[in-house]
Structure 1
Amino acid sequence: MELGTKLRFTRKKKKMTLAELAEGIISVSYLSKIENNDNIPDKEVISLLFEKLDTPAPKNLDSSIMDDLDEWYKVLVDKESNQAATMFKELSGIISEHNLEEYISFEILKVKYYLMVNQSEEARELLEEIADYEDTLNVRNFFYYYRFKALYDYTVHDFQGALRHAKKAEAALPTLLVEEWDLADFRYFMGLINSRLRKTTNCLSYVMEALAYYNAVYGYNRAAECHVLLGISYERIHEYEKAEESYLLARQTGSSA
């Protein structure tokens, strides 16, 4: 994250206006240029601005913690609840607002964690907090923010909202490098949303893409989930033979896990 973006994020987090932060240090117009990454101030100005925000000036990113966050996310996707809870406690103790890259990534991943442990109210409140600084998110965090926003909508049975927000996440994919296991999980989720909305053709398309990955890596449990969703979809369009075949494959695949 660029310096100006970090500054804007911190200011918004502290609920401070441009004028309030600039007062006594620099002009509002100059601060605006800094926040838009159009101008790089000297170190003294940087120090004064972050000091006024009662926040240390940003330092280099600790890649090991970002690796831990990536590992935690994989645990969340794999629905390993005990390990996820343990890692959540550990990460909560070492991540602070002083390192914004880590902090923002952690806050966004916490939404998925709260939903996994059935704390939907906490997830909703956190999503509202993140919305205050949505315009500071990089593309990757934007993708996960809207993905988990869609997951929250799905959890509370707002399926139209889930589709709308999932589509915003999907629009970011062409500019991202997303690992295949993560992409398959997202496609299955898109299939679920479309199934709920009776958009059967879309559901079949997404789920078949997810299934192709799970079959390739022998992900039996996830493949079984895909077959069940395919069976439901085929029933809806009166493709009863395909539906029966899908349900049979779901039982066979699930028993192989």
Structure 2
Amino acid sequence: MKEGLIIKLYRERAGLTQTQLGEGICSVTHISKIERGITQYSSEIISLICKRLNIDLNQELEQYELLEKKLNEWLEVMVKQQLGELDTLKEEIENNAYIYLSEVQNSYRILLARYYFFKGNLQKGKEILDSCLQQLGLLDRYDKHLLEHTLGIYYISLGNIKEAIKHLTNINPIEYNNHEFYYHLASAYHMIQAKVKAYHYGNLALSYFRTTNNFKRMLDTETLMLIQMGYNDIDHFEDTVERYHALIKSCKTYQEDVKVVNLWHNLGVDFAAKNLFEEARDAYEKALEGCYTLSLPHIELGARRGFVHCSIHVGHTEQTVLEKHIQLGRNLAKNMKNDTYLHVFHLLEIMLMHSQSETYYQYLETTFLPHLREKGQESLLMIYEKEIFHYYRRSSQYEKAAELANKYMSASL
């Protein structure tokens, strides 16, 4: 089949019809079948065709196979987060003559979208994916799964978890050998507080990363699984904190600075869930310190929200400092087109200026909570539903309080 694609490429470059190429060699029907890879052919016929096209078929096959190899390497460095090699491989791929063949063009374009995600250009990446979706019927099975995986990554980045899960659960692991998608499924289920599913898919991802010797992603997955085990485990919370610090130490040893920042953020989430607001604020502050030197917009959004929220609970932080954090968070959310965090920082501004007034709870109940439910943002939903539950109790709205309590009791069964 590869031989046929090569012959077709060079025939079209030479401006020859199939009839002209086959003249004196074989029939136009035979040329057509060779190009489509649906017939057997003699070495003599191929030799004559290549002579007419002035190509060395063995050398051309090497270039075609090199392109396939480079595309696989490009995906591998994305999975392993070896960002220093991204641009070099992109250049090598785009300089290969066979990049414009439809048989490799689809894989290339989907990987190019993920490349732009790494570069922080979500809009450019999504435009490419939209064009791939328009040609969905022309994609082979592997490329369809690659597209679903990349769309899942995109929607996780946007915080649209329901849409992310819809795409990621369309993937057949038998037909798609990049089982990194299990990690993204685990992350998505974590975000909607589906702990059993998050742990299950995390375990599958961990097994894959171990098999592929991907130490960086093993750390990511172990962190994610730690959250599932320790989030509500009050009796063993000291052990959970110790495991966080052990992972932070390991990441520092291997100079995994991004993962250190993420661990501090997640530890802040765990502290805040247990109303240990001072400890949570300190953890969020350490995460923000890392964000100042590294470009980590998604972590920065969560860490800035957590720092302001916990600081308001604890006190001791000047209002002007918190106002600056809110404005920085709002600007970042605007740049990322993240509607959820635009709501978050508006809500924090109300909380800071008016304490937890009726205005705060009205916005929370009528605007923000419905938005979180629509987007499937269960991590934030749990934080703010807990707040409004206590408000309902204080304001004698017992039916609403009971409804929320029943929701979480049912989820725990």
User: Where on the TM-score scale, by shorter chain, does this alignment land: which range?
Assistant: 0.5 to 0.7
Contact residue 185 and residue 198 of structure 2 kept, 8 A: yes
Deviations 1:151-196 (A, max 9, x none): 1111111111111001112xx22234x2xxx32x222121111111
Alignment partners' CA distance in 1, 2:73 and 2:213: 21
1:224 aligns to 2:219 (yes or no) = yes
Q: Aligned AA for 2:112?
A: K
CA distance in 2, matches of 1:111, 1:140: 16
1:35 maps to what in 2? none
Match of 1:42 in 2: 29
2: CA distance between counterparts of 1:90 and 1:143?
A: 25
Higher helix share: 2
Mind listing any 5+ residue stretches in structure 2 that lack a counterpart? 6-27, 34-59, 255-413
Aligned pair 1:205/2:192, yes or no? no
Structure 1 residue aligned with 2:185, among 186, 190, 202? 190
Quote the residue 2:87 is aligned against: 85
| Partner Cα distance (1:232, 1:204) in 2 | 9
Change in Cα spacing, 1:219 to 1:87, as seen in structure 2 (3 Å) is closer
- Per-residue CA deviations over 1:45-66 (Å, capped at 9, x if unaligned) read 89xxxxxxxxxxxx98922211
State the one-letter code of the partner of 2:142.
R
Q: Which has the higher contact order (CA 8 A, sep 6+)?
A: 1
Which whole-Å CA distance do the structure 2 matches of 1:78 and 1:71 have between them? 10
Report if aligned partners of 1:191, 1:202 keep a CA contact under 8 Å in 2: yes
Q: Given that residues 95 and 102 in structure 1 are in contact (C-alpha distance below 8 angstroms), is that contact kept between their aligned partners in structure 2?
A: no
| Contact 2:156–2:188 under 8 Å retained in 1 | yes
3-state DSSP of counterpart to 1:118: coil
SS at match of 2:193: coil
Aligned length: 202
Q: Name the stretch that deviates more: 240-249 or 195-204.
A: 240-249
Answer yes or no: is the 8 Å Cα contact 2:80–2:216 preserved in 1. no
CA shift for structure 1 position 43: 5.9
Distance change (3 Å), C-alpha of 1:137 and 1:225: same
Partners of 2:68 and 2:158 lie apart in 1 by 30
How far, CA to CA, are the matches of 2:95 and 2:244 in structure 1? Answer: 45
* TM-score, reference length from structure 2: 0.44
Deviation at 1:219, TM superposition (A): 4.3
Distance 1:94 1:212, change over 3 A: closer
Q: CA deviation at 1:143?
A: 0.9
Residue 116 of structure 1: aligned partner: 118
Preserved contact between residue 112 and residue 123 of structure 1 (Cα < 8 Å)? yes
One-letter amino acid matched to 1:228: T
Deviation at 1:218, TM superposition (A): 5.9
Between the aligned partners of 2:251 and 2:100, the Cα distance in structure 1 is 45
Where does 1:1-12 land on structure 2 (aligned, <5 Å)?
none
Between the aligned partners of 1:200 and 1:73, the Cα distance in structure 2 is: 29
In the aligned structure 2, how far is the partner of 1:224 from the partner of 1:108? 26
Task: Tell me, in whole angstroms, the C-alpha distance in 1 between the residues paired with 2:150 and 2:210.
Answer: 25
Q: Cα deviation per residue 1:178-227 (whole Å; 9 max; x = unaligned)?
A: 2xxx32x2221211111111111100111122224445666443222222
Q: CA RMSD in A?
A: 3.1
SS in 2 for 1:174: coil
Q: 1:215 to 1:147 in 2, by over 3 A?
A: closer
Q: Contact 2:80/2:217 (CA < 8 Å) preserved in 1? A: no
Taking a change above 3 Å as real, the CA distance of residues 220 and 62 of structure 1, as seen in their structure-2 partners, is closer
% same residue: 15
